[in-house]
Amino acid sequence: MADTTRDVVGARINLDTSKMIPAFKMIDQGAKQNAETFKVLNQEITVTTKNYTALAGAADKMSLNSDERRKKIMAESEALVKQRTAQAELLTMKKNQMEQANQIVDAKLAAQQAIIKRRYDAVEQQEREHQKRMEILQNKLTASAARVTTGTSATSADTMRERVLMQEQAIRQKLAQMAEKESMQARKHAADYEKFWINALQSRERKEAQVRERALQEEQRVRRSLTQTQTQISGITGTAAQFAMTGTLYYAFTRGATEAISLLKDFEYELVNVQRVMGESADVGYVKDSMISSAKEYGYALREVASVYTLIAQNGFDEKQTEQLARTALMAKNVEQSFQSASQAQELMTGAILNYGMAAEDAERLLDRLNEVANNFPTTSKKLLEGINRVGATAKNAGVDIDELIGYLTVLNQAGFSGAVAGNAIKSFISYASRPIAIDKLEKYVGVMKQADGEMMDFPELLSKIAAQWDTLSDAERNEVTQAIARGDQASRFITLMNNYSKVVDVAKVSEESFGSAQRENTLTMSTLTKQSEQLRASWDELIISIGDSGLLGGLKLIVVTRISKPH
């Protein structure tokens, strides 16, 4: 109890105060440890807050719709691009500053070189002047010696020569001293020049090293910043992309199933239409396989090909003829952009075949002619087919060859007339040229228009005969001939045809020599990405049809029938 006597209060309450200081030390240490613990806890809370903030940002982006999410990601990408652009501009500016510093150093070096060159020039000028003075002194000495020799005795001459030699030696010493002085000055200038260059180059190297170091540090900082930004964006977009991909796959599957069922319905409907127009005996299986094969070969959706086959079959063609015309129409749309669709191409092509009385097997050869002419003259296959649809039957009866007819139509198309207008004009020419009043006028101004048996010559022969004499006729005679064959608005078209009749021959020759033109261009078209994508789609359609044939179509029908027959 000896320790308690030191503290009166402690003594009164019988308290051992010697243990209080260690206790307070322990409490202080515990408080410090708690402070450290709370500091670590605060750091953990800060990190957790940042993580929750990033998670909340990601959740906000995921909650956005596709357009808003795309806009947000695009905005972040644009900000990243702007940051990169700013850093690139900064580096460019620093590079320009370094180049400007280099230019200043180069200018200073050039000025120093100019100063040194002027000094060297001055030294050389002084040396030339010294040499000139030496030459003058030498001449004076020579003249003095001559005068001394002629006017004095031998002793005086020796004295004079000694004096001259001494003066010459003094001059030589002075010149040697001047040369030594100039040499020393030149060496000093050279040393100064070398020192200046060394200092300038060292200064330049130090500045370049500093600029490179700063640029490298800035680049590293930018790279670290970009890496952090990309990591953040990847983390956010990765989560969003997973949800987006899941939704996309679901909706894609749903749309694909709906599209497949729709294709099966439409394709079956077209096959039913084909069988309806061709009759019960039609080989629908052959037509079906042909449709799928044509869609894959020419790069079309199966629906469009099936529609083309149905439209052709409605004109009374059998299976093989329908196939030939359909394939030609599909090829026509591939090689000629003037057609709005394959259906339009088949409509005009089928009409031309029927009007001119050609066989279905001749369709591809006709397309060769049209395509080659359109490639070499200002017209299109569409315009030519429109013209043939208007005048085809009349031209065939009048003995107009298909190549000549294409020549007539091309000349009028080139003059700005549409295909239908050009076809109607030629039909009008053929009709008026066979009338008696027209024959009388043509025989009056052109010559005999009939053959030996009294029959009227064919229209191409008649037109060629008029064209051969067209340039020799007067204006009044041309007007009479025109009125005999063309009336009203057709007169200007007839005059256009006659003025450009030489082109008819050129077009007809190109048309005749056009074998294989369409197939060659179709091969080029099929090598494009667009057509190869369409071929892939056609293969997918074929797979759907195969799945339908294997039982899916029958199952769908059974479901529909069951639903209809189920009592309500």
> Is residue 393 packed enough to be buried (19+ CB in 10 Å), middle (13-18) or exposed (0-12)?
middle
- What are 214-219's contacts with CB under 8 Å, separation 24+? 214/94, 215/91, 215/94, 215/95, 218/87, 218/90, 218/91, 218/94, 219/87, 219/91
Average pLDDT, the chain: 76
Rounded CA gap, 543 and 549, in Å? 10
Query: Which of 513, 535, 538, 516 has its CA nearest to residue 526?
Result: 535
Strand partners, 408: none
* Per-residue model confidence as pLDDT tens digits over 69-79: 667 777 777 77
For the chain, what are the domain ranges? Answer: 359-515
pLDDT: which is higher, 130 or 479: 479
**This model's pTM is above 0.85:** no
* Per-residue model confidence as pLDDT tens digits over 298-355: 988 888 888 888 888 888 888 899 999 999 999 998 888 888 888 899 899 999 999 9
* Per-residue model confidence as pLDDT tens digits over 260-284: 667 777 777 777 787 788 887 878 8
Rounded CA gap, 70 and 61, in Å? 9
What value does the mean pLDDT take over residues 115-129? 76
pLDDT: which is higher, 365 or 198: 365
Rounded CA gap, 367 and 381, in Å? 8
Q: Which range has the worst mean pLDDT, 224-233, 251-260, 478-487? A: 251-260
* Per-residue model confidence as pLDDT tens digits over 24-48: 667 667 667 766 766 776 777 777 6
Pull the structure tokens for residue 482.
């025109």
